[in-house]
């Protein structure tokens, strides 16, 4: 099992009225269990059970990723 910390940019979205000038992508940090990595995306799970089930997945497009750090777990 590999744990990762991924720094990435997410799109700005707003519903309803808002003040112009604050439309910027969000700088995000996600930490979790690396499930899959290919040329297009990185998939991370928040949790994994003893029987292999996973929970709360996120697939982050590689074009949005600024940095991936592989974490050492003892």
Q: What are phi and psi of 64, to 5 degrees?
A: -95, -15
Q: Alpha helix locations (H) across 1-74?
A: none
- Indicate the number of domains in the chain: 1
Residue listed under structure tokens 């590999």: 2
> How does pLDDT run across 26-72, given as a tens digit for each residue?
999 999 999 999 999 999 999 999 999 999 999 999 999 999 999 99
In this prediction, residues 9-16 reach a mean pLDDT of: 90
Give the integer Cα–Cα distance in Å for 44 and 36: 7
pTM, to two decimals: 0.84
Range of the domain at 46: 3-13+21-71
Give the integer Cα–Cα distance in Å for 71 and 1: 10
Look at residue 10 in the predicted model and tell me its pLDDT.
95
- pLDDT higher than 80, residue 23: yes
Give the integer Cα–Cα distance in Å for 73 and 34: 13
């Amino acid at each position: 099992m590999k744990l990762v910390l991924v720094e990435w940019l997410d799109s700005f979205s707003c519903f309803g009225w808002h003040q112009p000038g604050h439309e910027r992508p969000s700088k995000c940090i996600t930490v979790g269990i690396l499930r899959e990595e290919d040329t297009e995306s990185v998939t991370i799970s928040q949790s994994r059970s003893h029987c292999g089930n996973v929970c709360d997945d996120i697939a982050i497009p590689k074009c949005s990723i600024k940095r991936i750090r592989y974490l050492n777990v003892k």
